[in-house]
Every structure is written in structure tokens, then in C-alpha cells.
Amino acid sequence: DTGVSQDPRHKITKRGQNVTFRCDPISEHNRLYWYRQTLGQGPEFLTYFQNEAQLEKSRLLSDRFSAERPKGSFSTLEIQRTEQGDSAMYLCASSLLAGAELFFGEGSRLTVL
């Protein structure tokens, strides 16, 4: 499978715990995006990378959220001290630098108890 893959697909955690999601983009794609989708809403942009550089992070929801793409390939999204309001689907997407289309993974669903 050469699409965008995300791991884990589902995560249940207790409030206050840290969680990390991983995204493997399509191999030749320079850009990688993280979105959050809550129930009944469309995806909400969080941050994006061009290669290993994080070019936009002002839309990360709080300082508990951080993302990395250390070698310009896979990326991780970490949420520290999770809260119940963090329960959502976290979607990763990738694209070519000059491409129009974003290719999405199947998402990582987080449930905070």
C-alpha cells in the first residue's frame, strides 16, 4: 500500500496521559499536514511541514500539542496531559510541493476517558 498510513487507528487513554500519533506520508510527497476532526465537523487544520521544516504551527490548539518531522519523512503528533475535549479524529495528509490535491490517511481516533 503506497497511500498515507497512520498509527494507531484507535487510541483510548485516561485524562492526563500523553499520546503520540504517527503518520507515514506518500514517499515522494514534500508536504505533510495534520488536521483534527471532531464529531459533526469538517477537518480543522493544525499544522504542516515542508520536508522537515514546520512552516505553520500557530493553529495548534494549545501548547500541549506538538508535532515533529525529524527526517522529512514520517511525522508524529503528540498531545501531552490529554483532556476529554481532545477526543477527536486526527487526520494526516500529504501532498507534492506544487500539487493541488491532498491525500489523506484513514485517521487516528482518540478517546480520552
Partner 1 sequence: AQKITQTQPGMFVQEKEAVTLDCTYDTSDPSYGLFWYKQPSSGEMIFLIYQGSYDQQNATEGRYSLNFQKARKSANLVISASQLGDSAMYFCAMRADQTGANNLFFGTGTRLTVIP
CB of 37 to partner 1, least distance (A): 8
For the chain, list the strands marked E by DSSP.
5-7, 10-13, 19-24, 31-37, 44-50, 53-56, 65-68, 75-79, 88-95, 103-104, 108-112
CB of 42 to partner 1, least distance (A): 3
Q: Which is nearer to partner 1, 21 or 48 (CB)?
A: 48
Site for partner 1, rule CB under 8 A: 31, 33, 40-45, 48, 55-56, 89, 91, 93, 95, 99-107, 109
Q: Which is nearer to partner 1, 63 or 101 (CB)?
A: 101
